[in-house]
Amino acid sequence: MTADAKPMAAARVRTRFWRAPLLNSLPLRLSVLVICLLWTLPTAGLFVTSFRNPQLITKTGWWDAIFNAFAPGQWTLSNYQNVLGGDNMGTAFLNSLIVTIPSTVIPITIAAFAAYAFAWIPFRGRGIIFTIVVALLVVPLQMALIPILKIYSGASLYGTFVGIWLAHTAFGLPLAIFLLYNFMSQLPRDLFESSSIDGASAFQTFIRIVLPLSIPALGAFAIFQFLWVWNDLLVALVFLGVGKDVQVMPTALYNMIGPRGGAWHLLTAGAFLTMIVPLGVFLALQRAFVRGILAGSVK
């Protein structure tokens, strides 16, 4: 959807040209520093506080702890121990994994088959159906909540993992199909012709050629969907609810905010626990994530 990156060499030439007059300018360096600080300090405060002695958190600011980092009794791990045990964050962590992994893998599988058919197998009604998929890209999921909830309470799917997997799968499908279609339709036609000469069926062509070649697109969507599902609060609240045995991490964190506005030692530790997995995934797979964003910024 967006401009393609130019070849590396051209980018390098351009950058050198662009930088020359400004490289040493102090205002530029200062403003970059300020921006980086603004985007880091809030999270840093949370992180530092989550390891502080609960008694000290409301007595002094978290920056004080950094200046007095070696004062006795400054740091503790007890906040994390309390949150994991007493606030069911441990269970919520496991629930989040149980919800997120199938909710990521299932839509990819279903969308890959569909995108392949849309891109390479002509059939009647293909254009119309795909247009509907594109239209569904932007439909707010709020439109789906009431009727689905009615179905779920009738079919006793409310509060089950199956229910939320199906919901996340369906809500992720339009983007998944769209992204994978864009990628697969760009594959060279020769591939399919030679495969056809070898006598491979459509199914075999899909498994042997299309799927392995589409791994970059599959990976990009996987990261996208993983982060979206892991961080989601609304769908989890509506379809899973706040039961201790099924609640996911954002729900658990939300529950901690309400009754204990002042329990910052627990709230900060809980918040940081919810971030570990997405931050890890994100920092490890940043390139693929950026690729996904550049390809799919339509949702």
Partner 1 sequence: MALAGVGGQDRKPKAAAYGTSPWVLVASLIGLVIAAFGVMALVDKHGGVNILAWFYDQIGRATDATALRNGGGDQFYAKLILAVVALYVGVGGVWLVFTGASTIVERFPAKLRDTVLPWIFIAPALLLLGIYLVYPAVGTVIRSFQDKQGAFTLDNWTVLTTGPFLEILRNNVLWLFITTAGSVGLGLLVAALFDRIRRESLAKIFVFTPLAISLVGATVIWKFVYAQQPPSQPQFGLLNAIWTAFGNKPIAWATTFPINLPAEMIIMIWLQTGFAMVVLSAAIKGVSVEVLEAARLDGASERQIFFGVIIPLIRGSIITVTTTIAIATLKIFDIVWSMSGGINHDSVVAVRMFQEMFQFFNDGHAAALATILFVAVLPVMFLNLRNFRRQAAM
Which residues ranging from 145 to 174 are in contact with partner 1 (CB under 8 A)? 145-149, 151, 156-157, 159-162, 165-167, 169-171, 173-174
Letter for the amino acid at 104?
A: T
Question: Of the ranges 66-74, 81-89, 214-222, 277-285, which one interacts with partner 1 (CB under 8 A)?
Answer: 277-285
- Interface with partner 1, residue 187, by CB under 8 A: no
Site for partner 1, residues 99 to 128, rule: CB under 8 A:
101-102, 105-106, 109-111, 113-114, 116-118, 120-123, 126-127
CA distance 127 to 144: 25
Q: In whole angstroms, how close is the CB of 67 to partner 1 at the nearest point? A: 13
192 binds partner 1 (CB under 8 A): yes
Q: How far apart are CA 24 and CA 28, in angstroms?
A: 8
| Site mask for partner 1 (CB under 8 A), range 217-236, x = bound | ----------x--xxxxx--
* Window 237-276: contact mask with partner 1 (x via CB under 8 A): xx------x---xx--xx--x------x--xx-xx--xx-
Q: Which of 94, 153, 215, 260 binds partner 1 (CB under 8 A)?
A: 94
Asked whether position 215 contacts partner 1 by CB under 8 A, the answer is: no
Which of 138, 153, 215, 260 is in the footprint of partner 1 by CB under 8 A? 138
175 binds partner 1 (CB under 8 A): no
- How far apart CA 237 and CA 149 sit, in angstroms, is 11
d(CA 270, CA 178): 36
How far CA 233 is from CA of 36, 108, 247, 291, in Å, comes to 28, 22, 10, 25
Work out the number of other CB atoms within 10 angstroms of the CB of residue 282: 14
Q: Given the complex with partner 1, which of 6 and 86 has the nearer CB atom?
A: 6
Residue 197 C-beta: closest distance to partner 1, Å = 9
Nearest of 119, 291, 133 to residue 206 by alpha carbon: 119
Alpha-helical runs (H) found in the chain: 8-19, 26-50, 54-57, 62-67, 78-86, 89-120, 126-136, 142-154, 161-184, 189-197, 202-205, 211-213, 215-231, 234-239, 249-257, 264-284, 286-296
Counting Cβ atoms within 10 Å, is residue 286 exposed (0-12), middle (13-18) or buried (19+)?
exposed
CB of 208 to partner 1, least distance (A): 8
| Using rule CB under 8 A, residue 129 touches partner 1 | yes
Sign of the dihedral through C-alpha 226, 231, 235, 237: positive
83 lies in the binding site for partner 1 (CB under 8 A)? no
Query: Interface with partner 1 by CB under 8 A: which range of 67-75, 80-88, 186-194, 211-219?
Result: 186-194
